[in-house]
Each structure stands twice: as C-alpha cells, then as structure tokens.
Structure 1
Amino acid sequence: MKKYMVFTDCDLDGVGSYCVFKWFTGNKDIPCEITTVNNFRKTFTTWLQNNKLSNYERVFIFDLDVHECADLVDDSKITIIDHHETHVDNAKYNKATTILKTYTSCSKLIYKELSKVYPKVKLTPQQKLLILMIDDYDCYELKVPHSYDLNIVLWSYKGKRLEKFVRDFGTGFYGFTSFHQNMIDFNYKKIARLKRECKVHQASIPIGGDTYKFVSTFADSCINEMADYILDVHDGDIGLVVNVRTKKVSFRKNKRVKINLGKLANRLTDGGGHEYAAGGMLNENFLEFTKLFQPID
C-alpha cells in the first residue's frame, strides 16, 4: 500500500474530502491532520519536525487555501486540491501538483476528479448521498435534507472530530442515531437561547456604487445559525459574527447580494473563503471598520 499523508480543513467539507479520498484509493488507514487556513503553517512545520516528505509517496492538502504557504508546500511530493476562489486566483506553484477549481465544495471536486482516475470504483448510494449533503452545506444551499444537521453533529463531537465522523459516516450516510439526534436537539435549544440574548448592530456601507446594510453580533458558537438569524430578522445584506474568544470574524450574506464575501473578508480581515461564506481575523483594520456601526434598539 502506498504511503500517503493528508492535511485537510477541520470543517465538514474538509472531513468529507478525506472520506471521499479514502473511498477511491481503498486505503482505510491514511493518516490525516485536520487544521485551518490560519493554523496551517504551524501544523505543517510541526509535522515536518518528525517527518520527511521523501518518506511518502505523496502528501495531499485538501480544502485549504495555502497559497501564502507556498514556501512550504511547493514540492513535487505534494498534491493540493482546493475549491476556494481566493486560492484559484492567487496560487503560484512551480513544483506541487494542483487541482484548483472554483467549485461548490472540495468533496465534490475530489469526487469528480477521482472518478476519472479510478473509473472502476463505484461509490454506494449512501456514499454519494453523504457527498451531496456535504456539498449542499458547504455551498449553503440547504436543499438536501439533513445537511444542516450533519454539520451540527460534526461540531458537537467532543475531541477527535475527524475520527468520530469517520467512525459514524465513513461508509456513507445511513441516517442519524439517537445519539446524533440528541446532539441536534440540544443544539437547536442552544440556538434559541442565543437568539433571545443577542445584541445586533448595523451600518449602511457603500461598496461599488451600491449601499449595503451590514448587521453584526457577537457569538462563540452556532456561527452560521446566528448569521442567518440577524440577516433574516433585520433584513440585512451582509451579516458579521464576531467571536471574541477566538478573535475571528465570520461573513455571511443574503442570497440577493452579489458581493464576493471571500474578497471582502480578505480586504477587511486578511481572510478569505467563498463567495457566500468567508472568515478572517479580528485585526486593527476590522476594528476601525466597526466604528461605523450603531446598535439596533
């Protein structure tokens, strides 16, 4: 069996990308490190202290915009597969093998690409359903039943999220257990409490000749749910959720808005992401931007 190593995002799409890769390669024991864009450099350099790229057939990086770490990852032993537009636009690699395409999810991109490489591998209906659910959540269409709840389950695991997700859904989606349903029910109760307690601020911001209504709040959990809530209740165009504990800012938008949030997050918070969902770090530039906001009574 070829010796592989995988680095992937810690979110639902990153975990899903790892599952899809294992299904096609048939290797059930591929080691994997989950991380984030902001923590990737630290994660990768720490791994390199005890490992050599030359000892691996190939090292894969999934669902992570690592163009700012090209000095580390531009190596002939590395394959990078990603779907973030900011990565597609800014990538400059000379040695690494890359598959960089703007796509609804990295999981679906890997499925499409590996279907060509392994034409004899046929995924089960349950495996294909899991990919559809992950893709639906990552592009935030929320048209596939239970995709929203699947993300709740992932983030409700306490420690070793990747391993627990693979244990429960590593062969595809066969439904939720009573344990999963308890997680989901608990989360919805938590969301209801957060909605009752949240304080919202707003600002009218001109961008590209149009003026957009920004709404913002603070939260350290249930980020997507809180963003959806403030956008809906206050008819906002762009929603910001500030997590003071992690010093991160999450960007979401109303579907009627055409602004690319990945580019906006990059401009305001040195971050990035998708057209419809993005994030970055709480920095001086963003703090200056927040002075434009006023509380909603």
Structure 2
Amino acid sequence: MANFPNGPFTITNNDTGRCLRARLGPSQEVSDHKEGLEYLQTITSKPWLELGEADGSIATAWYFNTVYDRTERLNLDQIASTAVRELQNIGNFCVAAFTNPDSFEDLHKRQMAAADVARGKRLTEAMPAQWTGTRQAWEELVEASLPLLEKNLMYFELEKQEQYELEQEQKVISSAPAQWVGAKTTLPAAIRAYDAELDKGDLVPDGDPDPSAAQSTMMMFGCGCERGAGTNYRWTTDATRIWAADNCEFLPAAGSYWTDEGTLVGRGRNNSAAQTWTLTPWTPPPASKTDGEALLRTGLFGPLGAVLGL
C-alpha cells in the first residue's frame, strides 16, 4: 500500500494549510447532422489540479489506485481523484509529475559549472607550498613527469625493480624547474600526491539544487495512459512526505518530493525544499436537510397543499 490510507483520503500541506483538489472540467453538448438526423454528444474537458481550501468536499478526496498493470508487471500505485471517478464519465485520472528534459539539461549545466569551481578551488589548495609558479605550469610538470614515475616493469627482480624506480625518480629530480624551491628529493612524492587529487570527483556544493533531478510540475493524467520518459504517476509516502516511485528518466525520486509553491511541484529533499503533508481519511459530507416549508413550496404534498392554499 506504500503507506497510503485505505479508502478515500485528503492531502493537506502542513506548511501552507492548503489541500490538494481536483477541479472538474466542464461538459458541453455538441451536435452533428447526417442524412436528416441530428446526433448529440457530450464532451467533457479534462480535470486539473489545484491547491485550495480544505472544505471536505469531494473535490478534495483521493484514493490509492493499486490496480495491477500487466504491461509493466507492477501495481499502478496512483493517487487518483474520487471526484472524477464518481462524477464524470471520462475514465479515472491521477496525479502525475512531468519534467522538461531541457530544464534538466540546464540544471545539469549549472551544477557542472559549480562542480568545476569546487574542483579548481580544491586543486589550488592541493598545490605544494614549494611550488612558486602557476597552477597551469605545475600541472604541465605533473603530466610530463608521470610517465616516468608510473612505469612499472613487473618482469624485473624485486631489487632490480627498486633500483629502476630510483633511477626514474632521479630523472624527475634532475629535471626539477627553478619554480620548485623545496628539496628536490621531495618532488616525486609531491607529483604523485597531486595526481591523486586530479583523479578525485567533485560533489555539487551544499545549497546547490539537488544533483539528481530538475524541478517537476504536476497535473492530472489519465490512469490508463502510457508514460513518457519524463513522467511519473506512481507515488509513495512515509506518511509525511510524498515522492515519485517510478524513478524514471529525467525524474528520479530524489527530485520529486511534493512542495506547495503556489502550485504543486516536485523538488529535491536534499535542499530542504520538500514539504510535509497530512493524509486524512475522507468521508462524504452529510446530505443537506430539507425543511417542511421547502417541501410545501415544491408541491410535494400534492392535493393537500392545494387544500391548504399552498
């Protein structure tokens, strides 16, 4: 069940107090004429999502659709609208998240730029204090010296191997440029240490957008529709946060946590954008009571009403 309630439930944002609602699309009759006959058909627009008052109406009611999908061989696990199911004859509709691949690429570029800045800072700090030249000149020296230091002829006997390595280090030491002001014997170790720093990856700095996904937007989606590469309609929850369970291309779960930003969007949890929600069982509101006067006015008392002059 992915921790969703049994039966219909409401979804209310704990930060804003607004409730997830389904607004039903309007219906209209259209006609067509053929061979002297008139054909009438009712067309209903698709519903859409909104965040608004938690008034307990059927517009705020949702259910967890666990129908088994034979194509993907998984339960659908969709958050579907009770109002659409009960009040409209257009099939079932659920909450789906969509992300634009272009926005994902833009996010990726920003994060790669941030990673490059972080890498440059780390490599500058890793440069040995004995080097007085530029970082570019130092990295050129490292690149030129590594082929000598990394060469390893395993068919040598151990003593000959050690002797060979010492000879290679001496070649590096003897070619030390003037910018190296420390003991020349420490140069090979400094080159190896810097090379190890060059091999390290760099994470996106704290505060940058979540590295795994772009922001996604939400809308109503047909329960039986086929998803695209950037679409998610499966959901899971820990009873406070709600996030994607499809983990599809361009929309990993880590970037799809529900957030109220005026509209419902998906954000990453790692940058504290994810908000918490309350899932509460929903019961239909009681039917409105009809008083006696209203019954009289409608003529439901028939002849009795006429006798009484009503």
Bigger Rg, structure 1 or 2: 2
More strand by share: 2
TM-score bin (small chain): under 0.3
Q: Scaled by the length of structure 1, what TM-score is found?
A: 0.21
For CA contacts below 8 A with separation 6 or more, give which structure has more relative contact order. Answer: 2
